[in-house]
Copies of this chain bind each other. A is one copy, B any other.
Amino acid sequence: MTDTSENWFQTCVNALTDGRDQRVWSVIVSLFGDLARTPGDRISGPLMNAIIGPIGIRPEAIRVALHRLRNDGWLTSEREGRTGFYALTPGGLKESEAASPRIYARDEPSPETWHLIILEPMATTQRTAQEKRLIREGRLLVAPGALLGRGEPGNGKSDGFILSGRLENVPQWLREQVSKPELAEAYAGLVSSLRTVSDVLDLGYPATALQVATLRTLIVHNWRRILLAHPDLPPEFFVDGWQGAMCRKQVMQLLDRLERPAPNTLQIAQQAA
């Protein structure tokens, strides 16, 4: 590895980490979600250090996070000699699978059918509890007691008045309400960082499998954190200048360029390093 080669990689890592709060357990969730989501996939402790160490995360912090993820039932571990191996639990696999269609979708969502639930007028605290449940299921709170969901209402029917059909008007006030300034800023920042990564990759330095794994983990992690912080809505729900669609395009282009290495390939690369 030449100095120049290390420089290109560090420039990309810096672009993807600077000014962003990276919680270790969350980065590990992203790593497994992207690289080890197939039942049977395992990541060893040393391989994990090799992939996320370059981000500036220290082994002790990784150990603490792994402890937490095991306690939460997200990861299991087994030892082979002095090496620990980690894998997603069935529950962790299920949640990763559930999130991945949205994370890896190449196109903006464009559902034809929607449903709107109107809750019974009631005291605010009582209503808020119902709203939270319906929001957790992926619905958008349009106004107090009014929740919009994609597709048919399904069998999770509430006791609300429900209409299903197509959008007739998405007013500016709702677009402004949905397009939270902190998310707009986060998208704009990530678009800028991804452009830097893309420009550096254009220089043509060859990336090792481990470097690819590090970059993919960071890209998916940053993308996932912003994307899942708002409901899955088509562009017409966002204000002009919203960079969600542009960000998705860049993420997909970079993931295509940085082809996903198999866990075994990574394990061999780590042992050879």
**Alpha-carbon gap, A157 to B169, bound state (A):** 8
Among the 9-residue stretches A4-12, A92-100, A143-151, A207-215, the one with 4 or more Cβ atoms under 8 Å from chain B is A143-151
Contacts of A165 in B (CB 8 A): 113-114, 163-166
Chain copies in complex: 2
Among the 9-residue stretches A65-73, A170-178, A223-231, the one with 4 or more Cβ atoms under 8 Å from chain B is A170-178
Q: Count residues of A near B (Cβ-Cβ below 8 Å).
A: 33
Evaluate contact between A162 and B168: CB separation under 8 angstroms: yes
How far does the Cβ of A264 sit from chain B's closest Cβ, in whole Å? 49
Residue A261 interfacial (CB < 8 Å): no
Among the 9-residue stretches A41-49, A118-126, A183-191, the one with 4 or more Cβ atoms under 8 Å from chain B is A118-126
Evaluate contact between B121 and A144: CB separation under 8 angstroms: yes
13 A-B residue pairs with Cβ-Cβ distance under 8 Å, sorted by A, are: A118-B143, A120-B171, A143-B145, A143-B146, A146-B146, A153-B169, A157-B168, A157-B169, A159-B172, A160-B169, A163-B163, A163-B165, A163-B166
Beyond the given pairs A145-B146, A163-B163, 17 more chain A to chain B contacts, judged by CB atoms under 8 angstroms and listed by A's residue number, are: A113-B165, A116-B116, A116-B118, A116-B163, A120-B143, A120-B171, A121-B143, A146-B146, A152-B168, A153-B168, A159-B173, A160-B169, A161-B171, A161-B174, A162-B167, A165-B165, A165-B166
